């Protein structure tokens, strides 16, 4: 049995103060302020706002309901009757939260390093998987790799990782089921097309070259997504085009550029909650593919000319604008 030394009150306070200096806490605090409309939730004042922890049981991994925006006076009154031992008892309550926080910090550091390396090596370009996006201005920010208003959280990075791993699982399962699935070239690189000198490119999940007769004809494009139950149910109920137009556009462009228009693409979706598989045939839609191809060329030409393309909405409170990664940049500036 391993005994852990109980942290002293001074050590707990120091650890908490270090946490308040992290990017993770800065993001959590900013989100709490936005939810509260930047006003004290007790007196309604808007000066000297602070974010109070209603509980410290999930410190480093707080839920929205754990945080309360208060002015300095109301915050002080709150702490007048809350026990300090309950506030910072890391030993008995926060092991899980602390571990998650450390994992998040490590993932964010690794992501920052990878982003810096990619930015140094890459020319401006746009992924074909994104061309179905409704906002042309947003696509311009993506083309130039403009810094987002806020970096991804550790949780978001884990979700992306889940998607990559889910794609690998599905590829393995398809091969076990008798499909001849081609995903990487002889150099070990994911199969890719490039257009306009590499300024437009797309990485396909794979090509089914052969397989069970009842699932043909072949060859056919294969694309896969890992979705939560809500998104997965939407695809199964409404089909790909209605449920996820961006994914539908991605499939159409890939079929066109990889010259795989003779057979429907196979689109698979893995339910991350239940591990159910949805498999859809997606026929080639030539007008949709041409429209997106033209859109890509026009986008690149506008970016090269320094032309600022229109937003998808006239009001920054529109839901697509409100949750956009470049909301502040877009609505506070008339530059790309």
> pLDDT by residue (tens digit) across 236-248?
999 999 999 999 9
34 shares its domain with 177: no
pLDDT band at 92 (very low <50, low <70, confident <90, very high): very low
Q: How far is the C-alpha of 299 from the C-alpha of 142, rounded, in Å?
A: 11
199 shares its domain with 316: yes
Q: Establish if 115 belongs to a structural domain.
A: no
156 shares its domain with 294: yes
Express each pLDDT in 203-218 by its tens digit: 999 999 999 999 999 9
Q: Establish if 318 belongs to a structural domain.
A: yes
205 shares its domain with 65: no
127 shares its domain with 97: no
Q: Establish if 202 belongs to a structural domain.
A: yes
143 shares its domain with 267: yes
pLDDT at site 115: 74
pLDDT surpasses 60 at 322: yes
Say if residues 70 and 54 touch (Cβ distance below 8 Å). no
Q: Establish if 333 belongs to a structural domain.
A: no
Structure tokens that stand for 54 in this block: 């209603």
pLDDT band at 82 (very low <50, low <70, confident <90, very high): very low
Please tell me whether residue 172 adopts helix, strand or coil conformation: helix
Domain endpoint, select from 41, 68, 102: 102
pLDDT surpasses 90 at 96: no
Domain endpoint, select from 69, 102, 135: 102
What is the residue range of 227's domain? 123-328
194 shares its domain with 53: no
74-88 in b/e form (b: 16+ CB < 10 A) is bbeebeeeeeeeeeb
pLDDT surpasses 80 at 146: yes
Q: Establish if 118 belongs to a structural domain.
A: no
Domain endpoint, select from 73, 102, 131: 102
* Domain count across the chain: 2
306 shares its domain with 228: yes
Full-model pTM: 0.71
E strand intervals along 96-199: 126-127, 180-182, 192-195
94 shares its domain with 130: no
Q: Establish if 117 belongs to a structural domain.
A: no
Q: What DSSP letter does each residue of 47-111 carry, written as one string?
A: SSEEEEES--TTTTS--GGGEEEEEHHHHHHHHTTS-HHHHT-HHHH-HHHHHHHHHHHHHHHHH
pLDDT band at 101 (very low <50, low <70, confident <90, very high): confident
Q: Establish if 334 belongs to a structural domain.
A: no
pLDDT surpasses 90 at 85: no
Beta strands at 180-182 and 277-282: parallel, antiparallel or unpaired: unpaired
134 shares its domain with 90: no
52 shares its domain with 196: no
Q: Establish if 1 belongs to a structural domain.
A: no
Express each pLDDT in 16-36 by its tens digit: 888 888 888 888 899 999 888
The domain that holds 145 is classified in CATH as: 3.90.320.10
pLDDT surpasses 80 at 83: no
Say if residues 123 and 300 touch (Cβ distance below 8 Å). no
230 shares its domain with 130: yes
Q: How far is the C-alpha of 19 from the C-alpha of 57, rounded, in Å?
A: 15
Q: What is the mean pLDDT of residues 190-206?
A: 91
Picking from 69, 66, 72, the residue whose alpha carbon sits closest to that of residue 39 is 69
């Amino acid at each position: 049995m391993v005994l852990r030394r109980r942290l002293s009150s001074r050590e707990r306070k120091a650890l908490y103060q270090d946490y308040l200096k992290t990017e993770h806490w800065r993001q959590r605090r900013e989100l709490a302020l936005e939810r509260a409309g930047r006003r004290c939730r007790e007196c309604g004042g808007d000066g000297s706002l602070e974010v109070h922890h209603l509980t410290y049981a999930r410190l480093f991994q707080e839920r929205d309901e754990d945080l309360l925006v208060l002015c300095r006076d109301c915050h002080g009154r709150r702490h007048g009757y809350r026990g300090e031992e309950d506030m910072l008892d890391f030993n008995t309550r926060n092991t899980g939260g602390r571990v998650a926080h450390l994992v998040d910090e490590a993932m964010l550091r690794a992501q920052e390093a990878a982003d810096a390396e990619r930015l140094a090596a890459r020319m401006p370009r746009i992924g074909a998987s994104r061309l179905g996006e409704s906002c042309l201005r947003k696509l311009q920010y993506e083309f130039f790799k403009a810094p987002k208003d806020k970096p991804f959280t550790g949780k978001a990075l884990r979700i992306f990782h889940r998607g990559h791993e889910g794609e690998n699982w599905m590829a393995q399962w398809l091969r076990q089921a008798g499909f001849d699935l081609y995903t990487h070239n002889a150099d070990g690189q994911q199969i890719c097309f490039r257009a306009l000198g590499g300024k437009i490119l797309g990485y396909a999940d794979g090509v089914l070259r052969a397989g069970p007769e009842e699932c043909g004809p072949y060859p056919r494009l294969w694309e896969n997504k890992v979705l939560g139950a809500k998104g997965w149910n939407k695809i199964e109920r409404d089909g790909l085009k209605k449920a996820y137009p961006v994914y539908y556009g991605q499939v159409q462009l890939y079929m066109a550029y990889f010259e795989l228009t003779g057979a429907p693409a196979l689109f698979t979706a893995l339910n991350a909650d239940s591990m159910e598989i949805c498999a859809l045939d997606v026929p080639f839609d030539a007008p949709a593919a041409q429209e997106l191809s033209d859109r890509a060329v026009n986008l690149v030409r506008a970016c090269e000319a320094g032309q600022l393309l229109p937003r998808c909405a006239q009001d920054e409170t529109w839901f697509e604008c409100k949750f956009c990664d470049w909301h502040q940049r877009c609505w506070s500036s008339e530059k790309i």
